[in-house]
Amino acid sequence: METGLTGKRVLVTGASGGIGSACARAFAAEGAEVVVHFHRGKARAEELAAELGTASVVGADLTREDEVDQMFATAGSLDVCAAVAGVWPAEDLPVWEIPLDRWRATLDSNLTATFLTARAFLRQLDGDGSLVLVGSTAGIVGEAGHADYAAAKSAILGGLLLSLKNEVVRKNPLARVNAVAPGWTESPMTRGQVSEAQVRQISRTMALRKVAQPEDVANQVVVLASPVLSGHVTGQVVTVAGGMEGRVIHP
């Protein structure tokens, strides 16, 4: 099916990671010119760029305003941005034990990084572009032990997305912004958390008793970014979580 993404310039943040690299491959498969972003994983990003052929590579700590703005200046003009980068703090801590430093770091690396990315993308947008944010089911049903992450993702999927939806049309009447909310997805972020036994536990409120592959999420990112497939879709959250209804609270 034609997606209309051929020749579009697409920045994928977090393309050095599991879901981001799948997004970069999926956009490249549609004929897009992909800009691959990394933070610490320069070698992984360069390997991916070599695999994709035409992709260029940009590095930035997306929690830093100066680095984000420099990255967009280096990347050149862009039609699409998939804001995939994010951090899930692995340690399970209830709110009363979360140190303020961790709270701030988690909000920074998820919410603030997404804000800075969206801001810089929209500043340079000169056409009917598309922005796709990446949240999490944690932002919809919460996640005990990770309230900082759940709060950041909730803000992305709620107030930020819905405000942006009505703002982007001031840049261009056809500009759109949507979000994907992945559930458990096999990636470096979840390594060690998705054994067969853990999947049985994790999937107790899911219709499909498996975790997603990064490609499952990437395909939805491409669909939302596509002006052909999603030209009248904006402000929406697509959940990629096998029909998850919530989380098991009592083991």
Ligand X SMILES: NC(=O)c1ccc[n+]([C@@H]2O[C@H](COP(=O)([O-])OP(=O)(O)OC[C@H]3O[C@@H](n4cnc5c(N)ncnc54)[C@H](OP(=O)(O)O)[C@@H]3O)[C@@H](O)[C@H]2O)c1
Indicate which residue of 27, 88, 115, 149 is catalytic.
Answer: 149
Q: Is 72 in the site for ligand X (CB under 6 A)?
A: no
Q: Does 87 bind ligand X (CB under 6 A)?
A: yes
192 is catalytic: no
Give the span between the Cα atoms of 147 and 143, in whole angstroms.
6
Tell me whether residue 85 is exposed, middle or buried, using C-beta atoms within 10 angstroms of its C-beta: 0 to 12, 13 to 18, 19 or more: buried
By beta-carbon proximity to ligand X, the closer residue of 32 and 58 is 58
Task: Report d(CA 91, CA 99) in Å as an integer.
Answer: 12
Residues 34-53, interacting with ligand X (CB under 6 A): 38-41
Contact between 191 and ligand X per CB under 6 A = no
Residues 119-178 that bind ligand X (CB under 6 A): 134, 136
Our finding on whether 17 is near ligand X (CB under 6 A) is yes
134 forms bridges with which residues in the sheet? 180
CB 209 within 8 A of CB 242: yes
Q: Which of 12, 20, 116, 161 binds ligand X (CB under 6 A)?
A: 20
Residue 18 binds to ligand X (criterion: CB under 6 A): yes
Residue recorded with tokens 């051929």: 6
What distance in Å separates the CA atoms of residue 19 and residue 15, rounded to the nearest whole number? Answer: 7
Applying CB under 6 A, which of residues 112, 172, 190, 213 lies at the interface with ligand X? 190
Q: Name which of 132, 156, 114, 117 is nearest 219 in CA terms.
A: 132
Q: Which spans of this chain sit near ligand X (rule: CB under 6 A)?
A: 14, 16-20, 38-41, 61-63, 84-88, 109, 113, 134, 136, 182, 184-185, 187-190
Active site (catalytic) residues:
149
